[in-house]
Amino acid sequence: MTRPLPATGRLREHGYRHRRARLGSDSRVSGVHASTARAILTMTFAGWAQILVYCVVLLLVTKPMGLYLVKVYDGSFKWLGPVERALYRLGGIEPSEDQHWTRYAASLLVFTAVSTIVTYVALRLQGRLPLNPENLPNVVDRQAFETATSFTSNTNWQSYSGETTMSYLSQMTQLAFHNFASAAVGVAAAVALVRGIARRSAGRIGNFYVDLVRGTLYLYIPFSIVLALLFVQQGAIQNFHPYLHIATLEGAKQTLVMGPVASQEAIKQLGTNGGGFFNANSAHPFENPTPWSNFLQILAIFLIPAGLTYFLGRTVKSQRHGWAVWSAMFVLFIAGVAVAYWAEARGNPIHAARGVDVVASASNPGGNMEGKEVRFGIANSALFATITTDASCGAVNSMHDSFTPIGGMVPMVNIQLGELVYGGVGSGLYAMIVEVVLAVFIAGLMVGRTPEYLGKKIESREIRVVMVYVLVYAFVVLTFAAISSVIPAGLAGLNNTGPHGFSEILYAFSSTVANNGSAFAGLTGSTYYYNTMFGFAMLFGRFAMMVPALALAGFLAERKAAPESAGTFPVTTPLFVTLLVGVIMIVTALTFFPALSLGPIVEHFLMQAGKLF
Amino acid sequence: MLDVVYVLGIAGFFGLMIAFVHGLERLGHDATAPGDGEAS
């Protein structure tokens, strides 16, 4: 039998956290210090070389991906024309209709509402449906609700072990469907916002159903097929076999879980969904077998979001603006990687004080290896953790809860920034455009001119929806986390006390509301309280933010484009990039710094003083 | 019983979002007063 697993979050790690908690009960170690010199020694050339190679490849793929996206969404591609037209006929869609933003948003909401309810019903009836060789029972009501909302919101927060809960039918027709559809919905919203900037069209921003169909047919399906084949070549499994029950060399019985893993893996990363076939997610060798598959996975996460910045530049006819947005994202990305790598390479000073060798050598990765795959080591774990939380992916190849306090704060802050560092597919770009509008508005106030963004005046109604967008996230995260930190139902799920316990709750709501899906998994989220709270948190985080973004698209589309003047703040310069990064950091710092102070920041100082939680 | 509650919860949420769309549309109109918007 498969070992029963505690169910909470994307990746469960009770064993590690409990060990750490036990250590914490008597772990005051005096005179704990880890020198900066040791930390620098432990960050290796090989580690930084891998990060550098990743950055170069990301830069190189941005333009071709952007050009491909332009052709997908301007209708140039027609090689699946018959399929496309058949889908329109089947759905009674008039593809030439140019929808007002309100109709575009309503179409998006109705499509998602129906698909969410269908998934809920399908999961509740799973035990009676085919393609269930393990005879898995119906999914319980609270988990069916959370899973349905999780996958339709592109979050893929999982409070269950996929291999012991979901039948092949549920995985393939429900979860995989939403992996494609929710990603296509996200990109559609971003494309609509870019059209709103580029157009003068009385609030009309395209056709939601056309964007959904074209994104699925021309973008996600072909890219996923190619990527799935690459994963199979690397050793990821892809079959419909029943689980294998084998005897180990020691004579113990072991269950090897089978299934269509490679295909799930491809769309999981390309769509920044993140939900793993296995409980261990991308730390599992059947999902992520080699260093090359690991590289492909993290490249797939940023591929489309990075390309969307080029798409933005091309569509608004200011390629330099697209690259400026890309650069702001890159600054935030590399800063996150550097801090996470530094913190994890530096390791836990308490380990060092107890005689654990935390210095990297030919036979020792050094640093903090708790919760990390030996195959990937510290650099690739820090890189993966940063990328998956910059985007709204949430796939993991290491356990974020086992990171050092500062190392673990990086994924949390990335999520709280709004996942706009390349970001989720589509959601990253529209989140960044919201921040751009805010930055332009602030720049306009500083020089006393009416703010303009690419020729469109930014006035009170645009700023109102921008502020609604910014406040929804902060309000839902902080309110839900505060309630859960004081009521018995919220505290019942905690396996760690003190600041780390609070960090687990804060991370959970930051992750679910931002539709990331990764977890500080010491929190037991598989309860009626948390399943229900997380379900609504994910819905609010997705749609109560997407609707203001579409409203912004409509408002901008109604405006005439004014020619640039001497008073126009240029959005293509290093000054703009600096201002944009500053606005993002300040908005986040003002919102979340007090909460972070109660969690990872105080935990860091207590760790330095020799106390763990 | 809880199935009904959860399904109604999903439907109710999306109904709320449709109302949110109309609320933002009205907010857009209300904010475009004389001297505001394109006229400026």
Distance CA A431, CA A443 (A): 19
Amino acid identity, residue A226?
V
The answer to whether the CB of A333 falls within 8 A of the CB of A386 is yes
Q: Which residues of A touch B7 (CB under 8 A)?
A: 117, 120-121
Distance CA A612, CA B8 (A): 44
pLDDT given at position A521: 80
Contacts of A130 (CB under 8 A, 6+ apart): A169
pLDDT given at position A39: 56
Reported as a single tens digit per residue, the pLDDT across A57-85 is 999 999 999 999 999 999 999 999 999 99
- Pick the residue from chain A with its C-alpha nearest to B29: A461
Total CB pairs under 8 A between chain A and B: 87
Q: How many helices (H) and strands (E) does chain A have?
A: 24, 4
CA A510 to chain centre: 11
The answer to whether the CB of A298 falls within 8 A of the CB of A383 is yes
A200–chain B Cβ distance below 8 A for any pair: no
Contact (CB<8Å) A548/B18: no
Burial class (CB in 10 A: 0-12, 13-18, 19+), A60: exposed
Distance CA A299, CA A61 (A): 9
Three-state SS for A124-144 is HCHHHCCCCCCCCCCCCHHHH
Which residue would you say has higher pLDDT here, A119 or A564?
A119
Considering only the beta carbons, identify the residue of A117, A141, A464 that sits closest to B10.
Answer: A117
Distance CA A436, CA A426 (A): 15
Q: Which residues of A touch B24 (CB under 8 A)?
A: 465, 468, 547-548, 551
Reported as a single tens digit per residue, the pLDDT across A416-459 is 999 999 999 999 999 999 999 999 999 988 888 889 999 999 98
In Å, how far is B40's CA from the nearest CA of chain A? 9
Q: How confident is the model at residue A502 (pLDDT cuts 50, 70, 90)?
A: very high
Residue A262 has pLDDT above 80, yes or no: yes
Considering only the beta carbons, identify the residue of A105, A149, A460 that sits closest to B31.
Answer: A460
Q: Identify which of A407, A422, A222 has the alpha carbon closest to the alpha carbon of residue A307.
A: A422
A459–chain B Cβ distance below 8 A for any pair: yes
Helices (H), A92-220: 101-124, 141-152, 162-165, 168-169, 176-198, 208-214
Contacts of A59 (CB under 8 A, 6+ apart): none
Structure tokens that stand for A118 in this block: 């269908």
Q: Identify which of A335, A528, A527 has the alpha carbon closest to the alpha carbon of residue A414.
A: A335
Residue A30 has pLDDT above 80, yes or no: no
In Å, how far is A266's CA from the nearest CA of chain B? 29
Average pLDDT, chain A: 90
The answer to whether the CB of A576 falls within 8 A of the CB of A569 is yes
pLDDT given at position A168: 87
Contact (CB<8Å) B6/A464: no
The ipTM estimated for the assembled molecules is 0.88
Reported as a single tens digit per residue, the pLDDT across A393-425 is 999 999 999 999 999 999 999 999 999 999 999
The answer to whether the CB of A359 falls within 8 A of the CB of A42 is yes
Q: How confident is the model at residue A43 (pLDDT cuts 50, 70, 90)?
A: confident
Considering only the beta carbons, identify the residue of A121, A464, A539 that sits closest to B27.
Answer: A464
Q: Identify which of A416, A386, A177, A400 has the alpha carbon closest to the alpha carbon of residue A273.
A: A177
Considering only the beta carbons, identify the residue of A464, A539, A547 that sits closest to B21.
Answer: A547
B interface toward A at CB cutoff 8 Å? 2-3, 6-7, 9-11, 13-14, 17-18, 20-22, 24-25, 27-28, 31-32, 36-38, 40
Q: Which residues of B touch A560 (CB under 8 A)?
A: 38
Distance CA A412, CA A348 (A): 19
pLDDT given at position A524: 87
Helix (H) or strand (E) holding A309: helix A291-315
pLDDT given at position A365: 86
Q: Identify which of A400, A273, A301, A404 has the alpha carbon closest to the alpha carbon of residue A346.
A: A404
Q: How confident is the model at residue A309 (pLDDT cuts 50, 70, 90)?
A: very high
Reported as a single tens digit per residue, the pLDDT across A179-233 is 999 999 999 999 999 999 998 878 899 999 999 999 999 999 999 999 999 999 9
Considering only the beta carbons, identify the residue of A102, A113, A450 that sits closest to B21.
Answer: A102
pLDDT given at position A17: 41
Structure tokens that stand for A293 in this block: 């598959």
Amino acid identity, residue A539?
L
Contacts of A123 (CB under 8 A, 6+ apart): A138, A139, A143, A144, A147, A148, A170, A174
Reported as a single tens digit per residue, the pLDDT across A510-528 is 999 999 999 998 888 899 9
Q: Which residues of A touch B36 (CB under 8 A)?
A: 459-461
Mean pLDDT on A554-576: 89
A144–chain B Cβ distance below 8 A for any pair: yes
Instruction: Return the axis-axis angle of helices A141-152 and A101-124, rounded to nearest 10°.
Output: 150
Q: Which residues of B touch A208 (CB under 8 A)?
A: none
Contact (CB<8Å) B36/A460: yes
Residue A28 has pLDDT above 50, yes or no: no
Structure tokens that stand for A54 in this block: 């990743």
- Pick the residue from chain A with its C-alpha nearest to B1: A141
Residue A321 has pLDDT above 80, yes or no: yes
How far are the Cα atoms of A202, A249, A369, A519, A545 from residue A399, in angstroms, in the given order?
48, 29, 10, 8, 28
- Pick the residue from chain A with its C-alpha nearest to B32: A461
Share of chain A above pLDDT 90, in %: 77
How far are the Cα atoms of A5, A181, A531, B1 from residue A142, in angstroms, in the given order?
18, 23, 6, 12
CA A408 to chain centre: 15
Domains of chain A, residue spans: 35-426+449-608
pLDDT given at position A222: 97
pLDDT given at position B32: 58
Distance CA A272, CA A256 (A): 27
In Å, how far is B19's CA from the nearest CA of chain A? 10
Considering only the beta carbons, identify the residue of A113, A551, A560 that sits closest to B38.
Answer: A560
Contact (CB<8Å) B11/A457: no
Reported as a single tens digit per residue, the pLDDT across A338-376 is 999 999 999 988 988 888 888 888 888 889 999 999 999
Residue B14 has pLDDT above 80, yes or no: yes
Does residue A478 sit in helix, strand or coil?
A: helix
Sign of the four-CA dihedral A433, A439, A440, A442: positive
Q: What is the pTM of this model?
A: 0.91
Considering only the beta carbons, identify the residue of A106, A145, A461 that sits closest to B28.
Answer: A461
Considering only the beta carbons, identify the residue of B2, B13, B32 that sits closest to A539.
Answer: B13
Pairing relation of β-strands A456-457 and A452-453?
Answer: antiparallel
Distance CA A436, CA A429 (A): 10
A residues 431-450 lying closer than 8 A (beta carbon) to B: 450
Which residue would you say has higher pLDDT here, A110 or A563?
A110
Mean pLDDT on A267-277: 92
A294–chain B Cβ distance below 8 A for any pair: no
The answer to whether the CB of A125 falls within 8 A of the CB of A114 is no
Considering only the beta carbons, identify the residue of B6, B28, B31 that sits closest to A120.
Answer: B6
Q: How far apart are the first and last CA of chain B?
A: 56
A10–chain B Cβ distance below 8 A for any pair: no
